[in-house]
Amino acid sequence: MSVQSASPAATDYAAATDEQSIATAAKARLRRRKAWVLTAQIGVAVIGLGAWQLGTVTGTVDPFFFGSPLGIVLRLIDWFTNGTAYGSFWLQIWITLEEALLGFVGGVVSGIVVGVLLGEVPFLADVIGPYIKIVNALPRIVLGSIFVMWLGLGLPSKVLLAAVLVFFVVFFNAFQGVRSVDRNLVANARILGASRLQVVQHVVFPSAMTWIIASLHVALGFSIIGAIVGEFLGAQNGLGLVIATSQNTFDANGVFGAMLVIGVLALGAEGIMSLIEKRLLAWKPKSASESTVQGL
Amino acid sequence: MADLGVGGVEMRKVTKRFVTPTGAAMTAIHDIDLVVEPGQFCAIVGPTGCGKSTTLTLAAGLERASAGSVKVSGKPVEGITKDASFVFQTDALLPWKPVEANVALGPMFRGAAKSDALALARDWLKVVGLSGFEHHYPHQLSGGMRKRVSLAAALINKPSILLMDEPFSALDVQTRAIMSNELLALWERTRPSVMFVTHDLEEAIALADKVVVITAGPGTVKAVFDVDLPRPRGAVQEIRFAPRFLELYQQIWEALREEVERAYSRTSLANNSARASA
């Protein structure tokens, strides 16, 4: 009796002696574990949402302030079918996406260009450095107010705010990346006959790329934040405006609903980003941590 | 002395000082006189931190001498030395480029068309015995294979002078012996002049025509020994047992030992005083 109730892994190993069956057993164990994790994850969601819904039904949670899962779903269905006061819901999503993407691209490109330039030219870095630090020390969100004043309620003010947020993240990484290029690689390229531009193109930039790519995940989040905060401060369209309007009419379901949509967008963008990253860093050896980390 | 031909290196009273970021000056080498004739294989040995590598960076034109004259192929070194190739201790391969693109860098930087450069690179990979690995990334190769790629990348430009800074010291002993043999075979194909920095005296004698002993820092030339072992040398593992090899080893080691001891006592003294003051 006691022998049979011993851990199943032990019996797995006892039964399997050749390498192949050990490998299959290990794979099966891994699959079982994955299935368990997924079940538990779904369980957490069901319990959390269920408790919330139950609370609103029984009256322990005030649905006026806290909304309810069902209310959020109904609100979203209403938005998607009937649209909002300022056009279809798809349009709001598209506007926010457009602002975030344009801001992302603008911020990334300018961040890389300025970062590589200052990293390569120490004189420029010494002169411009303090100013960049000053601007960086500002809470950059307040720049949004100025941008709305300058550029109006349309698209450009949000794009600019998103781009500024993205710029600093990418800039500091690009700069650091350029500064930490292996001096041997640069020396070798120069001896092989590379011009300064060729050194930047073939050695410095690709080497800094690892750093830059690491910053892109954060930058992507910032671009969405920039777009939404910009819309909060003043806009004619966009998910930020949807949230602001819901807030002003005490529509908790609306706020949560828009939040959910933004979350889905951010996750989707994050997924695409990971694919791009994988592609760009295909040359990298898999690090030990990468291959063993599960879940997060 | 008359100017040396293509590939010859001539250093006269060369001194190199570095200024540390804190503003202190440090003399790395002092009044070095060194001649490498065209096609000669010259090994430079000396204790750690004596400025062996500095002589190479001066010959390559990566650094300027603080005093004295450095001439390569009869011309004073100004800017990066043309016709030179460098092999570093850690391989200086670009990890994001496949092997063939790494080897093709030299011709490409010198204006060759990409397809020509890649074709030439594949030829050289064949020479170093790495056919079939053209599309691997450097991290997928072993240390010895990466070293071969470095050699191919250095030799593809047909340098008249090859500068090697402890190129094999990161390899295990067996791989190192194999690579030494391969280096000799490759060197005999094109016969560039070689400046080979090492701290391994056996390696120096087995490979070189001439061994230069540098003193403990600031480094200067202590003695020069001609190695009259016949060429081709054959396997470096075996030449180590030749009576002439042992004789030379003893002579050179006499000169080197003093410097090594001096350098060692200096670092251990520094450690002791640091410990005492702590």
- The residue-averaged pLDDT of B187-206 equals 91
Tell me the pTM: 0.79
* Nearest alpha carbon to residue B106 among B31, B44, B162, B178: B162
With respect to residue A98, please indicate whether it lies within any of the assigned structural domains.
yes
Which residues in chain B have their CB less than 8 angstroms from residue A203's CB?
94
Residues A129 and A20 reside in one and the same domain: no
DSSP helix/strand/coil, A70: helix
Domain boundary among A26, A44, A61: A61
Determine, for residues A189 and B90 on separate chains, whether the beta-carbon distance falls below 8 Å.
no
Indicate the burial class of A247 (C-beta count within 10 angstroms; 0-12, 13-18, 19 or more). middle
Residues A186 and A165 reside in one and the same domain: yes
Choose among A187, A195, A206: nearest Cβ to B62: A187
Residues A53 and A77 reside in one and the same domain: no
With respect to residue A85, please indicate whether it lies within any of the assigned structural domains.
yes
Q: Is A180 on the interface with B (CB under 8 A)?
A: no
Determine, for residues A192 and B153 on separate chains, whether the beta-carbon distance falls below 8 Å.
yes
Q: Nearest CA to CA, how far is B81 from chain A (Å)?
A: 7
When mean pLDDT is compared across A13-17, A23-27, A96-100, A273-277, the lowest value belongs to A13-17
> Is the pLDDT reported for residue B120 higher than 90?
yes
Nearest CA in chain B to A182: B92
pLDDT given for residue B189 in this prediction: 84
Q: Is A156 on the interface with B (CB under 8 A)?
A: no
- The residue-averaged pLDDT of B113-119 equals 92
Q: Is A202 on the interface with B (CB under 8 A)?
A: yes
Q: Nearest CA to CA, how far is A28 from chain B (Å)?
A: 30
pLDDT given for residue B275 in this prediction: 62
With respect to residue A3, please indicate whether it lies within any of the assigned structural domains.
no
Determine, for residues B97 and A283 on separate chains, whether the beta-carbon distance falls below 8 Å.
yes
The pair of structure tokens assigned to A270 is 């994050």
> Is the pLDDT reported for residue A7 higher than 60?
no
Residue at token pair 């204006």: B111
> Is the pLDDT reported for residue B152 higher than 90?
yes
Residues A136 and A194 reside in one and the same domain: yes
Q: Nearest CA to CA, how far is B7 from chain A (Å)?
A: 15
> Is the pLDDT reported for residue B20 higher than 90?
no
Residues A42 and A137 reside in one and the same domain: no
Which residues in chain B have their CB less than 8 angstroms from residue A202's CB?
94, 105
pLDDT given for residue B25 in this prediction: 85
Choose among A188, A193, A195: nearest Cβ to B88: A188
> Is the pLDDT reported for residue B265 higher than 90?
no
Determine, for residues A283 and B137 on separate chains, whether the beta-carbon distance falls below 8 Å.
yes
pLDDT given for residue B277 in this prediction: 56
Residues A80 and A186 reside in one and the same domain: yes
Which residues in chain A have their CB less than 8 angstroms from residue B98's CB?
283
A–B CB contacts, 8 A cutoff, strictly below: 63
pLDDT grade for A188, boundaries at 50, 70 and 90 = very high
With respect to residue A2, please indicate whether it lies within any of the assigned structural domains.
no
Residues A44 and A151 reside in one and the same domain: no
Residue of A186, A191, A196, A279 to mutate, testing the B interface (most B Cβ within 10 Å of its Cβ) = A191
Determine, for residues A203 and B60 on separate chains, whether the beta-carbon distance falls below 8 Å.
no
Nearest CA in chain A to B98: A283
Which residues in chain A have their CB less than 8 angstroms from residue B97's CB?
206, 283
pLDDT grade for B273, boundaries at 50, 70 and 90 = low
* Nearest alpha carbon to residue B74 among B196, B194, B202, B160: B160
Choose among A184, A202, A285: nearest Cβ to B139: A285
- The residue-averaged pLDDT of B26-43 equals 91
> Is the pLDDT reported for residue B45 higher than 70?
yes
Choose among B57, B82, B105: nearest Cβ to A202: B105
pLDDT given for residue A16 in this prediction: 53
Q: Is A185 on the interface with B (CB under 8 A)?
A: yes
Determine, for residues B105 and A192 on separate chains, whether the beta-carbon distance falls below 8 Å.
yes
With respect to residue A52, please indicate whether it lies within any of the assigned structural domains.
yes
DSSP helix/strand/coil, A84: strand
A91-96 long-range contacts (CB < 8 A, ≥24 apart) are: A91/A237, A92/A237, A92/A238, A92/A239, A92/A241, A92/A242, A93/A239, A93/A261, A93/A265, A95/A155, A95/A237, A95/A238, A95/A239, A96/A224, A96/A227, A96/A228, A96/A231, A96/A238, A96/A239, A96/A240, A96/A262, A96/A265
Q: Where are the alpha helices (DSSP H) in A121-154?
A: 122-137, 143-151
Q: Show which residues on chain B lie within 8 Å of chain A, measured between beta carbons.
A: 57, 60, 62, 80-82, 84-86, 88, 90, 92, 94-98, 105-106, 109-110, 137, 139-140, 153, 157
Q: Is A149 on the interface with B (CB under 8 A)?
A: no
pLDDT grade for B195, boundaries at 50, 70 and 90 = very high
Domain boundary among A61, A84, A103: A61
Q: What is the CATH number of the domain that holds A189?
A: 1.10.3720.10
Choose among B80, B85, B94: nearest Cβ to A202: B94
Domain span at residue A21? 8-61
With respect to residue A242, please indicate whether it lies within any of the assigned structural domains.
yes
Q: Which helix (H) or strand (E) holds A283?
A: none
Domain boundary among A39, A61, A83: A61
When mean pLDDT is compared across A6-20, A64-78, B71-85, B257-271, the lowest value belongs to A6-20
> Is the pLDDT reported for residue B95 higher than 70?
yes
Residues A40 and A122 reside in one and the same domain: no
Residues A187 and A278 reside in one and the same domain: yes
Residue of B54, B91, B93, B109 to mutate, testing the A interface (most A Cβ within 10 Å of its Cβ) = B109
Task: Encode pLDDT of A81-93 as tens digits.
Answer: 998 888 899 999 9
> Is the pLDDT reported for residue A104 higher than 90?
yes
What count of other Cβ atoms lies within 10 Å of the Cβ of residue B79? 9
Nearest CA in chain B to A198: B109
Which residues in chain B have their CB less than 8 angstroms from residue A185's CB?
92, 94
pLDDT grade for A6, boundaries at 50, 70 and 90 = very low
Domain count for chain A: 2
pLDDT grade for A15, boundaries at 50, 70 and 90 = low
For the CA atoms of chain B, what is the radius of gyration?
19
Q: Nearest CA to CA, how far is B137 from chain A (Å)?
A: 6
When mean pLDDT is compared across A155-159, A233-237, B19-23, the lowest value belongs to B19-23
Which residues in chain A have their CB less than 8 angstroms from residue B105's CB?
189, 192, 194, 202
Residues A49 and A126 reside in one and the same domain: no
Choose among B62, B95, B157: nearest Cβ to A283: B95
Determine, for residues B96 and A209 on separate chains, whether the beta-carbon distance falls below 8 Å.
yes
With respect to residue A118, please indicate whether it lies within any of the assigned structural domains.
yes
With respect to residue A1, please indicate whether it lies within any of the assigned structural domains.
no
Residues A50 and A78 reside in one and the same domain: no
Residues A186 and A169 reside in one and the same domain: yes
Q: Nearest CA to CA, how far is A119 from chain B (Å)?
A: 18
Nearest CA in chain A to B96: A283
- Percent of chain A surpassing pLDDT 70: 91
Residue B58: partners with Cβ closer than 8 Å, 6 or more residues away = B11, B14, B16, B64, B65, B70, B77
Task: Encode pLDDT of B71-82 as tens digits.
Answer: 998 889 888 888
Summary mean pLDDT of chain A: 87
Residue B159: partners with Cβ closer than 8 Å, 6 or more residues away = B83, B84, B85, B192
